[in-house]
Amino acid sequence: MRLKISILFLMGVMFSAPIYSSDFEKTYWENEAEKLDYTEKSKDKQKEEKEPEPINELSKPLNLEIYQWPVLVILLLLVITALFYVIRKYNRNITPKINRQFIYSEEEKTEYSGEDLIYKIKMAEESRDRRNLFRYKYMLILILLAEKGLIQLAREYTNSEYLEQLRNKSEYTAFAFLTRVFGAIWYGKMELKEDEWNQSFHELNEMERGLKE
């Protein structure tokens, strides 16, 4: 009886082994297939991560540093140009354009240029010599009128003849007033009152400023 049972057990093991082995192999290869599939997916995923996305050049932020020096150079040139025009205008207001015009002084028997008269005016102001100050300023106005082409300077011309050259011109009235005052101060040796002097000198400066513009 025991022998019969042992034989039956051995026969059951023999017939059941292939089934167990077949199921095991199937499960094993399914697992391997899943691992392979996972590995391939991981490789694809890693490949996607490694491949850089195309860069849109338009989306890049502007690099302003490359424009820094050209902008600074342009600004510097603009500042230099502005300073040049300011200084030139300032000098024009201080020193008249001479064009080598000369005026002859009978009293000193010499010719004066605009530069000479500016120096003389400065000396008269420092010494508070009103008589010569008015005279040199008046002579400077004659040179400025000549530079504007409003009169022609000549040794033989008198102040009245210069005034006549300005007839029908806008400068006539102001110059006529200054000519009368100059005659009173220089030839008549008249001493003006303070308010008269201030008004006359103001008119003198205003005409000088207008001719320099």
Query: 113-125: per-residue pLDDT in tens?
Result: 888 999 999 999 9
Q: Which carries the bigger pLDDT value, residue 9 or residue 124?
A: 124
- 61 pLDDT exceeds 80? no
For residues 86 and 101, membership in a common domain is answered with no
For residues 118 and 202, membership in a common domain is answered with yes
C-alpha–C-alpha distance, residues 145 and 133, integer Å: 18
For residues 147 and 159, membership in a common domain is answered with yes
- 83 pLDDT exceeds 90? no
Residue range of the domain that includes 114: 96-212
State residue 20's pLDDT score: 43
Q: What are phi and psi of 112, to 5 degrees?
A: -120, 135
For residues 83 and 100, membership in a common domain is answered with no
C-alpha–C-alpha distance, residues 191 and 209, integer Å: 25
Encoding tokens for residue 6?
């042992």
C-alpha–C-alpha distance, residues 146 and 162, integer Å: 10
Whole-model pTM: value is 0.53
**Number of independent structural domains in the chain:** 2
